[in-house]
Amino acid sequence: MAIREAVGADGTTLVYRTFGNPDARPLVLIHGWAQSSRCWGDDVLGALSAQYRVIAVDLRGHGYSDVPAAGYDDSANWASDVDAVLTAERISSGAVLLGWSYGGLVICDYLAAHGTGAVDGVVFVGAITSIGRGEAGGAVGSAMKAAIPAAMAEDPDVAVRALGSFETALTGPIGDDAGKGAWSQALFGASLATPPRVRSALFRRAVGHDDLLRSLDVPALVLHGTADTVVDVSAGEHAAALIPRATASYWEGGGHGAFIEDPARFVAEVGAFLVDVDGGVPVGENTAGVITP
């Protein structure tokens, strides 16, 4: 593993980690709201990096990246951040972008500004693709609605209670799984470590990417739990219906964190999609819904 930095167009320093063979296909992982590049977990990162050049990014305001005072409402900044990482890694073609939750919106910001010249495929995991009132691609679920606005509060008592309930929606049932319990605590810690003003600012913008999705000229995998209470499954269905070369995997009863609930299945489905991207199996014209549990 290597820890590296890139600088966005507005001077924000972005920290990211790289894993695997530097000559393999780049797989860029973009985390969600109030998380960091550590959300993926060591086992998932290890499994993916066995075959791919994995690049796990800390978004601006998150993890070890800079926390600028403003600019979170500007899609151009998010687009520039992804471009800065690709440029720093000298990636001009062949990348696959994988975004979880808010990370899907960041991917769309990038594609709207820079196109798909450097990208061969996209993976949306429990993701939003638009944001703002009335945007079907930004539909949130009951856990997200319940967490707002308390999860953005400066008062620690208020924020801790709201984020504690919210983290349960990220991991799903833990039971006696000690590893998942530790993972849940790490996610909770990342949320608390994200400054309240950043947690709030990420929602203070409105942008629609439906036209982008309709014209997307690379294959996409839309992976979404049917019981996701953070980003409603309808957001994933909306994206899958618009993207011409979409394959959708709806996990029956699954929640928001597919890679946490079933890491092996997650790695297998992402790997199968990447085989398609590599030309192993042609991706059909809008095959949304063909993958089943």
- pLDDT at residue 287, as a whole number: 45
Contact 6, 85 (CB under 8 A): yes
- pLDDT at residue 171, as a whole number: 76
What are the strands, taking DSSP E only, across the chain? 2-7, 13-19, 26-30, 53-57, 95-100, 119-125, 220-225, 246-251, 287-291
Q: In what order do the strands lie in the sheet with 13-19?
A: 2-7, 13-19, 53-57, 26-30, 95-100, 119-125, 220-225, 246-251, 287-291
Residue 289 has pLDDT above 70, yes or no: no
- pLDDT at residue 173, as a whole number: 64
- pLDDT at residue 75, as a whole number: 97
CA dist., res. 55 & res. 232, Å (int): 27
Cβ atoms < 10 Å from Cβ of 16: 26
- pLDDT at residue 185, as a whole number: 87
CA dist., res. 16 & res. 63, Å (int): 9
Span 137-194, pLDDT tens digits? 999 999 999 999 999 999 999 999 999 888 778 876 665 665 778 888 889 999 999 9
Contact 24, 48 (CB under 8 A): no
Span 71-126, pLDDT tens digits? 999 999 999 999 999 999 999 999 999 999 999 999 999 999 999 999 999 999 99
Residue 136 has pLDDT above 80, yes or no: yes
Three-state SS at 44? helix
- pLDDT at residue 174, as a whole number: 60
CA dist., res. 170 & res. 80, Å (int): 28
CA dist., res. 236 & res. 291, Å (int): 14
Orientation of helix 178-193 relative to helix 156-171, angle to 10°? 140
Determine whether domain 2-140+205-291 maps to CATH 3.10.20.30: no
- pLDDT at residue 19, as a whole number: 97
Three-state SS at 73? coil
- pLDDT at residue 178, as a whole number: 59
- pLDDT at residue 263, as a whole number: 94
Q: Position of tokens 């006696």? A: 176
The residues spanned by each domain of the chain are 2-140+205-291
Residue 291 has pLDDT above 60, yes or no: no
CA dist., res. 113 & res. 39, Å (int): 27
* Alpha-carbon distances, residue 253 vs 20, 88, 286, 293 (angstroms): 33, 39, 23, 10
Three-state SS at 226? coil
Span 216-255, pLDDT tens digits? 999 999 999 999 999 999 999 999 999 999 999 999 999 9
Residue 62 phi, psi (nearest 5) = -130, 160
- pLDDT at residue 117, as a whole number: 97
What tokens does 222 get?
A: 């839309």
Residue 92: is it exposed, middle or buried by C-beta count within 10 angstroms (0-12/13-18/19+)? exposed
128: nearest Cα among 177, 90, 78, 168: 78
The whole-number average pLDDT for the span 263-291 is: 73
- pLDDT at residue 280, as a whole number: 63
Residue-averaged pLDDT of the chain: 92
Residue 197 phi, psi (nearest 5) = -65, -30
